[in-house]
Amino acid sequence: MTRPPFQRFLDEHGRPVLAFLRAMVGHHDAEDCFQETFIAALRAYDRMDGRHPRAWVMTIARRKAIDHHRARARRPEPHDELPEVPAAEPAGGLGDLDGEIWSAVAELSEAQRAAVALRFAADLAYREIAAALDCSEDAARRRVSDALRELRRNIDREEALR
Amino acid sequence: MSGLDTKTIAGVLGFEADMGAAAARLAERANREGLVDVAYATLDTPLGTALVANTSRGLVRVMLPNDSVDEIVERIARELSPRVLELPARLDLERRELDEYFSGRRREFDLEIDWSLTKPGFYREVLRTAERKLPYGATASYGEVAAWAGSPRAYRAAGSALGHNPIPIVVPCHRVLRAGGELGNYGGGPAMKEFLLRLEGAVE
């Protein structure tokens, strides 16, 4: 299979991957993970899944996000945040609601966060989400819907604290 | 229970920011790690936007203005390696020398050349010969170049080799004319060939 030029691969998938990573590890650390992801993708480019290239690179991105959290958990410096919770940052425009959504995302489990991030940050179709999560399309829909329910609960809790 | 709609959630989480700086830093890091088989960059010339590409061995491709950057990059991916990234920093020297050439401040290029995109054998020899033996401001006929390359009668093959030159300007196929002095063919079109010959003072 002829692979497209990597520059084109980067142009096509870079932004959704960056959005996905922001949801997974927060704005501050997303770029580091972005570099790690695409360096790994470039190394493994020969083995790319040609049917689902975006799901393929999202899978790499997710692994890098997990690695990132593990590395943070191991670091001896004191920090206030739990390893599972990425720094929340408002994306702009909606003020408080923005911050609530990011915080609520941060509170999800890794698996639920991944489902939400793939669907709402990276805007993947369910067929691709299924490929990224290695499950059926039906299962992908269920996971997203379950995660969304949990996200809404978290948002309500955030709102109640105001 | 929040009825917060998915459109709002997607609007916040999917907020698109600029990837440009991250992509540039990625290309530089990939290069440091030896992962960029082919690097390319565009440059402005009096004739329009050109493109140059190199491998670790040297300059491998020059795209003349008005060809399509996307198409050339696709072909590079097919013919050389898909590990191709835009990386101006690695093409600094090539871009500078071509700039100097177009502004009349340079007559000879001192660039390493990667001949991988040329057909091995006689075709490659024709192009190497042109690069070595045809200086700025001079011209030669297809027959002469064929003779230099070792087959005096193979002027048609020489013409074909020069017509498939992947590194125009630096490998000076524009300096090769028909025996009668007519300009002959040129990949970038006759107007471009004439422009380059005039620039070099080879024609009035």
B5-46, pLDDT tens digit by residue? Answer: 999 999 999 977 678 899 999 999 999 999 999 999 999 999
B68 in reach of chain A (CB within 8 A): no
pLDDT, chain B, mean:
94
- Percent of chain A whose predicted confidence (pLDDT) is above 90: 73
- Gap from B1 CA to chain A (nearest CA, Å): 6
3-state class of A145 per DSSP? helix
A159 in reach of chain B (CB within 8 A): yes
CA-to-CA separations, B58 to B75, B91, B110, B138, in angstroms, rounded: 18, 10, 11, 25
Query: Are the beta carbons of B166 and B178 closer than 8 angstroms?
Result: no
Smallest CA–CA distance from A159 into chain B, residue: B2
Whether the pLDDT of residue B162 is over 70: the answer is yes
Among A35, A43, A98, beta carbon nearest to B12: A98
CB atoms closer than 10 angstroms to residue B150: 11
Reported pTM: 0.90
Among B8, B17, B29, beta carbon nearest to A39: B29
A127 in reach of chain B (CB within 8 A): no
Structure-token pair, residue B84: 């191709």
- Gap from A120 CA to chain B (nearest CA, Å): 4
Q: Do A97 and B85 touch (CB under 8 A)?
A: no
Residue range B85-120, pLDDT digits in tens = 999 999 999 999 999 999 999 999 999 999 999 999
CA-to-CA separations, B177 to A2, A97, B38, B59, B197, in angstroms, rounded: 38, 71, 32, 25, 11
Residue type, B199: L
Smallest CA–CA distance from A106 into chain B, residue: B13
| Residue pointed to by tokens 């030029």 | A5
Largest CA distance in chain B: 87
Site from A7, A32, A48, A57 to mutate, B interface, most B CB atoms within 10 angstroms:
A7
The mean pLDDT of A114-120, rounded to a whole number, is 97
DSSP letter for each residue of B22-67:
HHHHHHHHHHHTT--SEEEEEEEETTEEEEEEE-SSSEEEEEPTTS
- Gap from B89 CA to chain A (nearest CA, Å): 15
Q: How far apart are CA B128 and CA B150, in angstroms?
A: 12
Query: Are the beta carbons of A20 and A117 closer than 8 angstroms?
Result: yes
| Residue pointed to by tokens 């922001």 | A22
Q: Do A10 and B23 touch (CB under 8 A)?
A: yes
Q: How far apart are CA A19 and CA A123, in angstroms?
A: 9
Q: What is the pLDDT of residue A1?
A: 67
Q: How far apart are CA B131 and CA B124, in angstroms?
A: 11
B26 in reach of chain A (CB within 8 A): yes
A113 in reach of chain B (CB within 8 A): no
B59 confidence band (pLDDT: 50, 70, 90): very high
β-pairing, B59-63 vs B84-86, is: unpaired
B108 in reach of chain A (CB within 8 A): no
- Gap from A8 CA to chain B (nearest CA, Å): 8
The mean pLDDT of A102-119, rounded to a whole number, is 96
The mean pLDDT of A134-138, rounded to a whole number, is 97
Q: What is the pLDDT of residue B134?
A: 97
Q: What is the pLDDT of residue A72?
A: 84
Q: What is the pLDDT of residue B185?
A: 84
Q: How many residues does chain B have?
A: 204
Residue range B133-156, pLDDT digits in tens = 999 999 999 999 999 999 999 999
Whether the pLDDT of residue A86 is over 50: the answer is no
Among A5, A18, A153, beta carbon nearest to B22: A18
Structure-token pair, residue A50: 């040609």
Q: What is the pLDDT of residue B15?
A: 73
Active site amino acids of B: 173
Sign of the Cα pseudo-torsion (B181, B184, B190, B193, in order):
negative
Query: Are the beta carbons of A144 and A129 closer than 8 angstroms?
Result: yes
The strands making up B84-86's β-sheet, listed across from edge to edge, are B59-63, B48-54, B38-45, B84-86
In this structure, what DSSP letter does residue B141 have?
Answer: E
Query: Are the beta carbons of A65 and A21 closer than 8 angstroms?
Result: yes
Residue contacts between A and B (CB atoms, under 8 Å): 115
- Percent of chain B whose predicted confidence (pLDDT) is above 70: 98
**A158, A49, A35, A150: which is closest to A97 by C-alpha?**
A158
Whether the pLDDT of residue A89 is over 60: the answer is no
Structure-token pair, residue A26: 């927060």
In b/e form, how buried is each residue of A60-79, taking b as 16+ CB within 10 angstroms?
bbbebbeebbeebeeeeeee
As to burial, measured by CB atoms within 10 angstroms (0-12 exposed, 13-18 middle, 19+ buried), residue B33 is: exposed
Query: Are the beta carbons of A102 and A89 closer than 8 angstroms?
Result: yes
B24 in reach of chain A (CB within 8 A): no
Per CB-CB distance under 8 Å, the chain B contacts of A152 are: 1-4
Whether the pLDDT of residue A90 is over 80: the answer is no
Q: What is the pLDDT of residue B152?
A: 94
Residue range A22-73, pLDDT digits in tens = 999 999 999 999 999 999 999 999 999 899 999 999 999 999 999 999 988 8
CA-to-CA separations, A149 to A24, A95, B129, in angstroms, rounded: 18, 22, 71
Smallest CA–CA distance from A15 into chain B, residue: B19
Among A23, A34, A121, beta carbon nearest to B22: A34
Whether the pLDDT of residue B55 is over 70: the answer is yes
Q: What is the pLDDT of residue A87?
A: 46
Per CB-CB distance under 8 Å, the chain A contacts of B3 are: 152
Among A35, A91, A116, beta carbon nearest to B15: A91
